[in-house]
A and B are shown apart, each in its own frame.
Chain A
Amino acid sequence: MAQNLVNALSLGSLYALIALGIALLFSIMGLINFAHGELITVGGYALLAFHRLPFAVAAGLVVAVVVAAALLMERLAFRPVRGASGETMLMTSFALSLLIQGGVLLKEGADPQSVDVLGGLGASIDVGGLSVGRLDLAIVGVTAVLLAGLAWFLRATPLGVQMRAAAEDFTMARALGIRADRVVATAFGVSGAFAAVAAVFLVARTGTLTPSMGLSPVLVGFVAIVLGGLGRLWAAAIGAYVLAALSVMLQAYLPGGLAAYRDALVYLGIIVILLFRPHGIAGRPGGVRV
């Protein structure tokens, strides 16, 4: 039981990093950024390039590369369509996603590549009779620090307060003098940083890279956001942890014959939750604010 809890927390933290990166942009500018997955892909391959360096240095460089990619994405692809309809921005993000995937495919090839970045993180340590992977501890710990950091940033800094205002009502925020460019660029930067950290942990867990590796995390991120409740930032994190808990518990307790249906049952569970809470676990009615 305790082992499953650790697994759920670790997986949920990974999901939360991804979901928050997506939710941040959605709440501020109504952008559903499919290309978020490609930020994770870029992070993965950056890690491959830097993996001979000491882990901390490599991780730092990955964050720098992905944040730069996210800012570039904003400047070149999304700023020209800002204020356009949600569909236009969604299509832009699809195109960008395919473009980056194509680029990675050309440069790195379609074959999966493996990279071992675990190093000392592969070991387990003993916590009160429980064997806990160091990687799991690192994921839970780093995510907790990042979430707390984001909460502090949004509450205590002038830029953070402006971001919250812009997320609630972009038009009103502009009427009060808030510069959209700065707020949106900051949001992309934070989103990129979260994607970078998620990429490092994802690759550390699986050890493999493919050009389409970003797809499944980004889908999980969307599911977590819908499950938690659209339009509210922290609801995305809640959705992520619930989704991970469902997944881990079913994995652990399903009888052998049903184990193959785990994902189907996870999504059945989500459908049931949404039947009773159509706006998500922590969402509010009429909550799609753009």
Chain B
Amino acid sequence: MAPLLRTRQVSVRFGGLRALDDVALELGDGEILGLIGPNGAGKTTLLNVLSGFQRPSTGEVELDGRRITGWDPPRRARAGISRTFQDVRLFADMTVQENCEVAVIGCGGRRTTARERARQALATLDLHRSADVLAKDLPYGVQRRVGLARALCARPRVLLLDEPAAGLNDDESAAMAETVRRIHAELGCGVVVIEHDVRMILGLCHRVHVLDHGVTLRVGTPDEIRTDPEVVSAYLGEEAIA
């Protein structure tokens, strides 16, 4: 059976720079896949390739074995690929509730469906008390959770998370990992998560894909990755793996 989402020999070149080189990523149905690597490894570029914001120079992207390489981001969103951004990007002048409704309406849902799903998603993430607050008035940590709630509203089959815990302290990061787990349990979707906090990734993911300088360095279970000498050396000077 074809994996839920995969890239075949994807390369991305920016002028002379190879941002990604022959990367083959596979995400199984219901799997949480961690995407890690030092700064500049190409993690966000790969996420952009998966969500349609970056067209690969060569290679293909497949969803359920179907080629989607040429699909633009709205089409992929409608096909069930939902993503978040590192800088959250809530609609600042809209309420939390409206932010969530947009995710449903954007994929063709009715207003009443949108209202109902937004309410459910906010309840799932304990955000229902903030429903009528304007997004710009929320504290940073809460904004990040709203970003996740918004992605959840679309009921995606693939959820792409770009550093969901960026800028959060240790407690908040742990809570964020718990939230990702809860969403995964609720939707049963595949999740690709980029994270700087390697400890969080190793605790959260079923498998981990390690990138370094645009090339796949290793793919394995958290236990294999934790003890892999090449991975450890790639991270030397970055941060120690716990």
Please classify how large the interface on chain A is, using the bins under 10, 10 to 19, 20 to 34, 35 or more: 10 to 19
The reply to whether B91 and A168 form a contact with Cβ atoms under 8 Å apart is yes
The reply to whether A177 and B74 form a contact with Cβ atoms under 8 Å apart is yes
* Residue A52 CB within 8 A of the other chain: no
Contact of A168 among B92, B105, B111 (CB under 8 A): B92
State in angstroms the CA–CA spacing of A157 and B111 once bound together.
Answer: 8
Q: Mark B131-146, 1 if CB is under 8 A from A, else 0.
A: 0000000000000000
* Residue A277 CB within 8 A of the other chain: no
State in angstroms the CA–CA spacing of A174 and B72 once bound together.
Answer: 9
Chain A residues near B105 (CB-CB < 8 A): 158, 161-162
Q: Which of B35-43, B77-85, B187-195 contacts A (4 or more CB under 8 A)?
A: B77-85
The reply to whether B110 and A158 form a contact with Cβ atoms under 8 Å apart is yes
B residues 47-87 in Cβ contact with A at 8 Å: 51, 53, 72-74, 77-78, 82-83, 85
Give the number of residues in B that approach A within 8 Å (Cβ atoms): 28
The reply to whether A175 and B110 form a contact with Cβ atoms under 8 Å apart is no
The reply to whether B106 and A162 form a contact with Cβ atoms under 8 Å apart is yes
The reply to whether B89 and A172 form a contact with Cβ atoms under 8 Å apart is yes
* Residue A169 CB within 8 A of the other chain: yes
Chain A residues near B82 (CB-CB < 8 A): 175-176
* Residue B96 CB within 8 A of the other chain: no
Chain B residues near A180 (CB-CB < 8 A): 74
State in angstroms the CA–CA spacing of A179 and B102 once bound together.
Answer: 12
The reply to whether B107 and A176 form a contact with Cβ atoms under 8 Å apart is yes
The reply to whether B111 and A158 form a contact with Cβ atoms under 8 Å apart is yes
Chain A residues near B91 (CB-CB < 8 A): 164-165, 168-169, 172
State in angstroms the CA–CA spacing of A175 and B53 once bound together.
Answer: 8
State in angstroms the CA–CA spacing of A178 and B77 once bound together.
Answer: 9
* Tally of contacts, chain A with chain B, CB under 8 A: 66
Contact of B73 among A157, A161, A174 (CB under 8 A): A174
State in angstroms the CA–CA spacing of A161 and B94 once bound together.
Answer: 9
* Residue B154 CB within 8 A of the other chain: yes
Chain A residues near B154 (CB-CB < 8 A): 176-177
Dominant secondary structure at the A interface: helix
* Residue A171 CB within 8 A of the other chain: yes
The reply to whether A162 and B89 form a contact with Cβ atoms under 8 Å apart is no
Closest to B136 in A: A284
* Residue A173 CB within 8 A of the other chain: yes
State in angstroms the CA–CA spacing of A158 and B111 once bound together.
Answer: 6
Closest to A159 in B: B105
CB distance from B68 to the nearest CB of A (A): 14
Chain B residues near A172 (CB-CB < 8 A): 85, 89, 91
* Residue B212 CB within 8 A of the other chain: no
Known A165-B94, A173-B102; contact A178-B74, beta-carbon cutoff 8 A = yes
Instruction: Using CB atoms and an 8 Å cutoff, list the residues of chain A in contact with chain B.
Output: 157-158, 161-162, 164-165, 168-169, 171-180, 232
A-B CB proximity, top 10 nearest = A177-B77, A177-B106, A176-B106, A177-B107, A172-B89, A178-B106, A168-B91, A174-B73, A165-B102, A158-B105
User: What would 9 A/B residue contacts be, using CB atoms closer than 8 Å?
Assistant: A175-B51, A175-B73, A175-B77, A176-B103, A176-B106, A177-B78, A177-B103, A178-B106, A180-B74
Instruction: Using CB atoms and an 8 Å cutoff, list the residues of chain B in contact with chain A.
Output: 51, 53, 72-74, 77-78, 82-83, 85, 89, 91-94, 98, 101-103, 105-108, 110-111, 114, 150, 154
Given contacts A164-B93, A168-B92, 18 further A-B pairs with CB under 8 A are A158-B110, A161-B98, A161-B101, A161-B111, A164-B94, A169-B91, A171-B89, A175-B51, A175-B77, A175-B82, A175-B83, A176-B82, A176-B154, A177-B78, A177-B107, A178-B74, A179-B74, A232-B93
